[in-house]
Chains A and B, each alone.
With several copies, the nearest count.
Chain A
Amino acid sequence: MVGAGGDGIVTMGDILSQAGARDGLNVIKTEAYGPQIRGGESSCVVRLSPDAIYEQGDAVDVLTVFSWADFGRFKGEVQPAPNAVVLFDEADPVARTKEDLGLGADAHWIAVPFSKLAGDAGAKGSKNVVGLGVLTALVGLPQATIRRAIEKRFGRKKAAVGELALKAFDAGMLHGATLASLKDRGITFTPGSAKLLMSGNEASALGALHAGCRFFAGYPITPSTEILQFAEEWLPKMGGSVVQTEDELAAIGAVVGASFAGVKSMTATSGPGLSLMTEMLGLATMAEVPCVVVDVQRGGPSTGLPTKSEQSDLWQAVFAGHGDAPRVVIAASDVEDCFHATVEAFNISEEFQLPVIVLTDQSVGQRRETLDPARLVHKVIDRAVPTAAELADYKRYRDTPEGFSPMSVPGMKGGIYQTNGLEHDEEGRPASMHVVHEKMNDKRYRKLKPIREKYTRVRRFGPEKADLGIVCWGSSKGAVKEALLMAEERGQKVAAFIPDMIFPFPVKALEEFLKSVKQVLVIEISFAAQFYKYLRTFTTLPENTLLFKRSGGKNLTISEVDDQIRTFFAKSGDRQKGAA
């Protein structure tokens, strides 16, 4: 659906996706806007399916356009399938043809009097609802549910408004009925139990609450702000507190302070904010204070592409910071995963007393996806506090086999200690001798071993032995999974390795995977190939490893992955022929 500001595109998408979720369909919805802060063009893509879906999908089967002029502004972003059903406003001053959109013969090109119908229904502004009506009748959508959704949405404030909207919907339905039915182009399904409809940012925030986070400090930044907003609304209802700080330096500082005080804490930001947090993360590592930072990646460098996705904060997350400063980095690959990754981040951070960064990105953070409520459960681990016995002779930084030691919190009588960001001894006293530094560096890095052993979340898809093995991370998962299914149908053996743990990396698992595939293809959305180069720091990739990388600003598409796979098999096919 594409239209101008005021056409209600977003509302149209909301109603459609809510209705889908209500009937237990799988839904993924994304929105896009023009540069205008408000009143500019907007587009919304909703994918509905009774089967599992992992990506927004490259091409839309049904396209509704209220304004061809605005459609042009989303060139390359909203792509109709060759056989798409295209509905457009007959009153649109701009004219387009099937050919202009490069559609095939089997595409359906339907002019609809959207504006007129809305006007007749006495609700000029309701082109979007009329559109819903036409679609419902034409391709067969859950009519009853959509009606209820409309009622809820518009009737909320004034019942009359709701009724008007329903009138517009019915008008659309009636018109749709006059058109040759295209039910085959719609979806057939039996309504199931309702699903949650949630964005990745909401899932991250929810994960934090579930993990026991009771202090959140943050500074707004696109595309992460929803996490701050969610926390600000819900934490007070759970006895927690939120501070919108003056900047990101203060946000991460307050988080470290609250955690020092014994309260699970986190912040959320995007690239520019993460860069500003670099120094304070070093303090958290040095003073061994747990803290969680969610970084919703956007296009960089600098202010870059604030509203678009990219996977280019990897190096910043793993390597940034002066000195040798170990911290953990976890990636989230879809909406549900944002929940689990955040809980995991708290578990690791609290157990091992070091900062944990969760990398998500705009595509996962801001898209809405249906989830099964039953899956939003995750074990929660709490920080080890000293026992009475341990308090008897307490050393904050006691050098233990696992590298971390019980952390006392204000209120514990015997647990009083003074700490700092200087190198220090087991008691926390400043010490600048090489021997102490070596010993404490060793202590801080020693934690990585148990973490690596205990947290090995990796995903492996595809056959046990494969001709092509794709290694990627984060939001690339969706497109890769769908491409894998397509390859499977073609009988091509392709597997994928997608780690949740970025640092410390599950090296063993990766090396087993490398052994299980004939050739490796690394895929990432980073011009500098940050993931590929990062992999090289700890593992030796086969000589013939392939790399597909590009800048962000556009999510990885299924067809990009599919092309890579096809080309690979085409080539290897040639090689075999050659060999034969």
Chain B
Amino acid sequence: MSAAPPVLPAYVPGDYKTDLKPVWCPGCGDFGVLTALYRAMAELQLTPELTAVVSGIGCSSRLPGYVETYGFNTVHGRALPLATGVAVSRPDVKVIAVGGDGDGLAIGGNHFMHSARRNLDVTYILMDNEIYGLTKGQVAPTTPTGDKTKTTHYGNPEPAVDPCELAVSFGATWVGRAFSGDLKGTVELIVKALQHRGFAFLNVMSPCVTWRGDDQFKTLKAKARPIPAGHDTSSRAEAMKYTRETDVLSTGVLYEVKTPSLNDRLDTIKKTALAGGPSATVPGIIKTFLPSF
């Protein structure tokens, strides 16, 4: 969980920047996400050594290498399992998981479901470019039906999923949508996501200029508009209204509820387990294997 902001030193966005040059293509939407993350971290004064950024594999998953915290660019699809280990074993560390739509929704989809269900203490930022970027342009679970890609010569025969709709059904307790072209909005949403206790899912539409052309950015920009004020974020049915959208791209907080996080619950278990008594010791446990009669 987030460490209490220290009084000194005050971190500025640049403090969270490593000196590794991003491999991203000029114009890639992920630059926007990275900048927004730096700012959000600074706004919350996250302690670098008490923060961990974990990712899978993909262009977007290169992000941890550019953030001056403990970072792990793991294997394709496993960002959330790794994040689970960090978050549960080190409740004092703020854990941020990032990755792409292929990484998080295709190969990693199951971990997304169960991390959300457990209300894992992790902020998960998905950079959705509706394509597999790093492997040079194959269809993704968010690629619209009919689109041509390197592996859909005749147009994508498969329907796409809406990551935010999935997150709600999985049991995520905070669900938001952003557009990396809107830096200010993205910063705001990342801040809120980081402040949430439990599993916060933010889907950031982050254009891939190389494999989705310049149109993607243009159309997203044209479609993006904030969720109308007064939206009831506590209702699943209401949240549904802003999913599977075609003509618009609603950005903002879709859904938010406050329930105990996984670490809250595991804390309770430790207390019940000890029932006020002293913690167990190995010799003590060994004794329980002696026939006692």
- Give me the interface of A with B, judged by CB distance under 8 Å: 18-19, 21-22, 35-39, 145, 148-149, 151-152, 194-198, 202, 206, 209-210, 214-215, 217, 219-222, 225, 228-229, 232-234, 236-239, 241-263, 265, 272, 279-280, 282-283, 287, 302-303, 371, 373, 376, 409-413, 415-422, 429-430
Contact B290 A243 (CB under 8 A): no
Which among B49, B57, B82, B273 has the highest number of chain A CB atoms within 10 Å?
A: B82
Q: Report whether A410 and B52 are in contact in the complex, using a CB–CB cutoff of 8 Å.
A: yes
CB distance from B167 to the nearest CB of A (A): 16
Contact check, B84 vs A410: say whether CB atoms are below 8 A apart: no
Chain A: which residue is nearest B287 at the CB level? A373
Instruction: Report which B residues bind A (CB closer than 8 A).
Output: 18, 20, 23-26, 28, 48-54, 57, 59, 64-65, 67-78, 80-86, 88-90, 92-93, 106-107, 109-111, 113-114, 118, 132-136, 138-139, 141, 150-154, 210, 266, 269-270, 272-274, 279-282, 285-287, 289-293
**A244: nearest chain-B partner, CB-CB:** B151
| Known interface pairs A38-B25, A39-B25; A18-B52 also in contact (CB < 8 Å) | no
20 A–B contacts from the bound complex (CB under 8 Å): A38-B25, A39-B25, A194-B291, A195-B290, A215-B88, A217-B85, A228-B138, A236-B272, A236-B273, A245-B81, A249-B78, A250-B81, A250-B110, A253-B85, A260-B72, A260-B85, A261-B86, A280-B75, A416-B69, A421-B74
Known: A236-B274, A258-B88. 14 other contacts (CB 8 A): A22-B293, A37-B59, A38-B210, A145-B293, A197-B291, A209-B282, A210-B282, A229-B151, A241-B88, A241-B270, A244-B139, A245-B114, A418-B72, A420-B73
Q: How far is the CA of A272 from the CA of B75 in the complex (A)?
A: 9
Total number of A-B contacts with CB less than 8 angstroms? 251
- By a CB distance below 8 angstroms, the chain B residues around A210 are 282
| Chain B neighbourhood of A259, CB < 8 A | 85
Measured in the bound complex, the distance between the Cα atoms of B64 and A419 in whole Å is: 8
**A151 and chain B: residue at smallest CB distance:** B293
Contacts of A247 in B (CB 8 A): 77, 106-107, 110
Q: How many Å from the CB of A427 to the closest CB on chain B?
A: 9
Q: Once the chains bind, are B85 and A416 in contact (CB under 8 Å)?
A: no
Judge whether A416 and B70 touch: CB under 8 Å: yes
Given known contacts A229-B150, A236-B270, A419-B73, is B68 in contact with A257 (CB within 8 Å)?
no
Q: In the complex the two chains form, is A263's CB within 8 Å of B90's CB?
A: yes
A258 and B92 CA atoms in complex are apart in Å by: 13
Q: Are A206 and B273 in contact (CB under 8 A)?
A: no
Which of A217, A376, A409, A422 is the one whose CB lies under 8 Å from B84? A217
CB atoms of B106 and A255 under 8 A apart: no
B291→A18 contact, CB < 8 A: yes
Give, as a whole number of angstroms, the nearest-CB distance from A392 to chain B: 15
* A203 nearest CB neighbor, chain B only: B289
Closest chain A residue, CB of each to CB of B132: A220
Residues of A within 8 A of B88 (CB): 215, 241, 243, 254, 258
CB of A169, distance to nearest CB on chain B (Å): 14
CB <8 Å contact, B289 and A197:
yes
In angstroms, Cα B289 to Cα A17, docked, is: 12
A253–B89 touching, CB < 8 Å: no
Q: CA separation between A311 and B224, bound complex, in Å?
A: 48
Contact A257 B132 (CB under 8 A): no
Q: Does A194 lie within 8 Å of B290, measured CB to CB? A: yes
Of A145, A232, A254, the contact of B85 (CB 8 Å cutoff): A254
The list of the 6 closest CB pairs from A to B, nearest first, reads A257-B85, A253-B81, A418-B71, A258-B85, A258-B89, A257-B82
Are A253 and B286 in contact, with the CB atoms below 8 A?
A: no
Closest to B65 in A: A418
Contact check, A250 vs B270: say whether CB atoms are below 8 A apart.
no
Q: How far is the CB of B140 from chain A (nearest CB, A)?
A: 9
Taking the closest CB of chain A, its distance from the CB of B262, in whole angstroms, is 8
In the complex, what's the smallest C-beta–C-beta distance from A231 to chain B, in angstroms?
Answer: 9
Check A373/B25 contact, CB under 8 A, given A234-B280, A239-B270, A250-B111: no
Contact at B289–A196, with CB atoms within 8 Å?
yes
Bound CA–CA A192/B111 (angstroms):
53
Q: A225-B136, A420-B72 are in contact. Are A246 and B110 (CB under 8 A)?
A: yes
Q: Indicate whether A22 sits within 8 Å of B50 (C-beta atoms), given known contacts A206-B282, A257-B82, A283-B75.
A: no
Measured CA separation A234–B288 after assembly (Å): 12
- Given A22-B293, A236-B270, A238-B280: A257 touches B65 (CB 8 Å cut-off): no
Chain B residue contacts of A145, Cβ below 8 A: 293
Q: Is the CB of B84 within 8 A of A250?
A: yes
User: What are the residues of chain A within 8 A of B109 when measuring CB–CB?
Assistant: 246
Given contacts A410-B70, A416-B68, A421-B74, contact A257 B81 (CB under 8 A): yes
A272 to chain B, nearest CB (A): 7
A222 vs B134: C-alpha distance in the bound complex, in angstroms? Answer: 9
Distance from A193 Cβ to chain B, minimum over Cβ atoms (Å): 10
- Which residues of the partner chain A approach B93 to less than 8 Å between Cβ atoms? 261, 410-411
